[in-house]
Structure 1
Amino acid sequence: MKKILVTGGLGFIGSHTVVELQNTGFDVIIIDNLSNSKMEVLDNIEQITSKKAAFFNIDLRNKKEVKHFFNTNTIDGIIHFAASKAVGESVEKPLDYYENNIGTLVYILQEMRDHKIDHFIFSSSCTVYGQAAELPITEKSPVKPAISPYGNTKQIGEEIIRDTCKVHNMNAIALRYFNPIGAHDSIKIGELPLGVPQNLIPYITQTAAGIREQLSVFGNDYDTPDGTAIRDYIHVVDLAKAHTAALQRLLSNENKEKFEYFNVGTGKGSSVLEIINAFEHANNLKLNYKITTRREGDVTAAYADTNKVANELNWKTEKTLEEALKSAWEWQKSLI
């Protein structure tokens, strides 16, 4: 079995990807510093797959610990999720984001170079496109100056990986994904934000559960049909499967370039108000929400053109928006 390191493997997308990797037959090692996750996720993954993943509690900002890990473990490939990920928070704490998202990436790539590990999947983001001039967003859409420090770390991260692949025997794929939501069908893993949620769906579910008094809709004066921002919401299980498809592409030497990138989304945009209405309809409840001012760093609309990922990775979404919103609510209820 190929041994795959998943950094941030107890996080939302990471944990679902670990499940898909194990179900596909990979041997998984997880690194996570538990800054935005919980140790119980490891046991829940094992309950789903009946496989125990090796786990290391390492802060990737600690270069000495990173070096020791790679000196004492044999790795065939890496999927790198570990990063701070909130647009709004990144505006408030830019230096924290640059240290955590850029410094740790450099440390990992240095170890890959030194230990001749040549398969790397990078957790990138549609934020690299900023506010695209044309929708849907294709991979040929220009990468614009980032609106937030978070988006900038993803742009810089891709540039670092591209430069590294040019001069070292390394192959990498960046998956530029849109807005992952939902939970695993088992309802044993899902989105687990610590503190106040920065993303829409956990804030919706926590409001529905009475944990939050009211949901804030950030702006209703965007140039969209109902005035609220539009995003492409993808079920997290579908997204996890895209990572296994990308990894298999690299392991099978099917990549056409040393550094490739793919948009991963549904190809359909939904506004914030449409998501609220769909959640209410899917789960037969009403949400308490109010319209507030725009949030700095948010773009008006973003949704993916999925032709490249479908043709090259033979991947497409399988789950519906309703399934995602139902599973998100079932997951929230399981936490109460």
Structure 2
Amino acid sequence: MMLEVTGLRHEFATPRGPLHAVRGVDLRVRPGETLAIVGESGSGKSTTARAIARLIEPTDGSVLLDGEDLLKANNRRMFDLRRRIQFVFQDPYSSLDPRRTIRQAIREPLDVHRVGTRRERDQKVAELLQLVGLSTEYQHSLPSALSGGQRQRVAIARALALEPEFVICDEAVSALDVSIQAQVLNLIRDLQERLGVGFIFITHDLAVVSEIADYVAVMYLGRVVETGTREEVLGNPQHPYTQALLSAAPGLRSLTERIVLQGESPSALNPPSGCAFRLRCPRAQGLCERDDPVLAPVWTGGTQLAACHFPGELTLEERTR
């Protein structure tokens, strides 16, 4: 069983023309694995997540679940498929209806999909609360009575109500204090081990990636520029953009000099020719302007891929250029 994303694209219509938010993304994740998608704000991470779950309609590409393309499913079929892929949003304060009790919030997907009797649904809510480490006494409370961490546990319980194979978490801990982040990450790891759920975890925080990811995909300007196992990408990054991100994450990688990127990310309204990163890359050459690099293996027999004409370690001169 696998969730396989191929050639995913999404464009937003604007008065100035199409904004190329996601540009040909390929991803794969299996149940029981966590794929972390990382990158700067505006790199296309959240748009990719929403397009995979069809919360927005992609412009092109395919999202295969056991070989069935979600993007070609009609509304009736998609209703059934949504049981298998659930979503946890970033803000635990706005993702729950403030007028509905915790029991009503968690039971909603069970009600919509008519799972069991009313009594069985209420019993399922109690089980889910216990599963995410909350007392069943909370089921009669409104979200305003809960802390941010408790609300996010409720959101995770709701996502698990239909027993999905995959859960997409879009910056699910970024709005929480560091200590609460650790609790929620521990909860996700525990649930994955117990239930075998696959997670796609959207984040800009590489410390979170080091704690939870099995595989990592690094995005820049709507493209995946490096992928591999957590150990490969965090331990030996090959793309200059990944190296720059890691150099800014204290404690994750030992670098003698911080890599400071020049300029800002180009506009997704008008991506540059060739490699989109070349305007900020200390290693860019004429080839980078002419040809857009594709994801390619960087080690024989390894799983690490990089979209770079000149992958490898930056020299001290390149780091400070």
TM-score, normalising length: structure 1: 0.30
Larger Rg: 1 or 2? 2
TM-score, normalising length: structure 2: 0.31
More strand by share: 2
More helix by share: 1
